């Protein structure tokens, strides 16, 4: 397996894993999923950033490949998701924690 194929497959599986974790977090299926998602997003941001810097620098002599196009497009989508969706999910989870804490406090006072 050459480097191009490896990077393409790694990127594909990382995307699927990230979508899966977003769904798990949004549905509240696992309490540890947000930590895994945060770690995966962090390392994916590093990978995408380094990839874009290396592949799209002004001194580049190689041609634009389909993997470059795929990563460039998905980098934009990933940054949009990482910014917008993480903010929405964080807001939702914080509100859910506040509501649960308020409910539990109310129950304690009525006992």
pLDDT of the chain along its 111 residues, tens only?
788 788 888 888 888 888 888 788 777 787 777 788 788 878 888 888 887 888 777 777 777 778 778 778 878 887 777 777 767 776 776 676 666 666 656 666 655
- Greatest Cα pair distance in the chain: 73
Alpha-helical (H) ranges within the chain are 3-27, 33-55, 66-80, 86-110
pLDDT at 79: 78
0.85 exceeded by pTM: no
The number of domains in the chain is 1
Token digits for 62? 């190689």
Range of the domain at 93: 3-110
What pLDDT was estimated at residue 110? 57
DSSP 58: T
DSSP state of 62: S
Own/partner contacts of 16-20, CB < 8 Å, gap of 24 or more, are 18/44
């Amino acid at each position: 397996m050459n480097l191009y194929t490896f990077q393409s497959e790694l990127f594909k599986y990382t995307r699927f894993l990230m979508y899966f974790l977003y769904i798990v977090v949004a549905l509240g299926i696992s309490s540890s999923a947000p930590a895994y998602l945060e770690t995966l997003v962090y390392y994916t941001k590093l990978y995408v950033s380094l990839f874009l810097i290396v592949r799209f620098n002004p001194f580049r002599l190689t041609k634009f490949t389909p993997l470059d196009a795929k990563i460039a497009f998905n980098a934009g989508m990933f940054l949009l998701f990482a910014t917008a969706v993480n903010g929405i999910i964080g807001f939702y989870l914080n509100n859910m924690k506040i509501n649960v804490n308020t409910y539990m406090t109310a129950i304690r006072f009525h006992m």
